[in-house]
Amino acid sequence: MSSRNDSRGGRAIAVLLGACVIAAWTSLVGPAAAVLYGDQNQPGPFVLRLQYPAGYRKGPHYHPGDAQVTVLSGSYFRGYGHRVDETQAFRLTPGTFSVNPGGVAHYEWTTEPAILEVHAEGPWRTIYVDDQGNPR
């Protein structure tokens, strides 16, 4: 990652895809994450790059705010509702951009490794519809 001050006194940040270090994220089982910008635990914008393993499943849950998600590699499935119904899910492939609305229950899974980039506002939480959906 590199950064430099711009002419207005702000800080510009660039993260090259190959230079991104993915580190274990203790709050999730399975995926790993790199925080590219901000802090998901504090108020304000943040950007995460998530690396999901093949076969990862997360039951119905929701977040307090909207998330803008781009699939960078692999494929990722997402469906909406309080119960998993794989026939109603979408397959998101590299280059796909989606907005996951805050407060809306959704579920997700992978059949192959996938890398996603998530832009949202903190503080961020994951609230499960029931404990069976929690991948712990």
56-84 confidence digits (pLDDT tens) = 999 999 999 999 999 999 999 999 999 99
pLDDT score for 45:
96
Residue 55 is classified by DSSP as T
Q: Please, are residues 92 and 99 in contact by the beta-carbon 8 Å criterion? A: no
pLDDT score for 4:
47
Task: Walk along the chain (136 residues) in steps of 10 and give the mean pLDDT of each run.
Answer: 49 54 51 88 94 93 95 96 94 94 95 96 93 66
- Spatial CB neighbours of 44, under 8 Å, sequence gap ≥ 6: 38, 121, 122
HSE at residue 83, side-chain half, CA atoms within 13 A, is: 2
- Say how many C-beta atoms besides its own lie within 10 A of residue 40's C-beta: 20
Quick one: how far is CA 124 from the chain centroid? 11
Distance set, CA 118 to CA 1, 77, 130 (Å) = 17, 15, 24
pLDDT score for 131:
72
Angle at 34 between CA 120 and CA 47, to 5 degrees: 20
Question: 20-133 belongs to which homologous superfamily?
Answer: Jelly Rolls (2.60.120.10)
CA-nearest of 65, 61, 74 to 126 is 61
Residue-range domain boundaries for the chain: 20-133
pLDDT score for 21:
52
pLDDT score for 130:
85
Tokens of 92: 């998101």
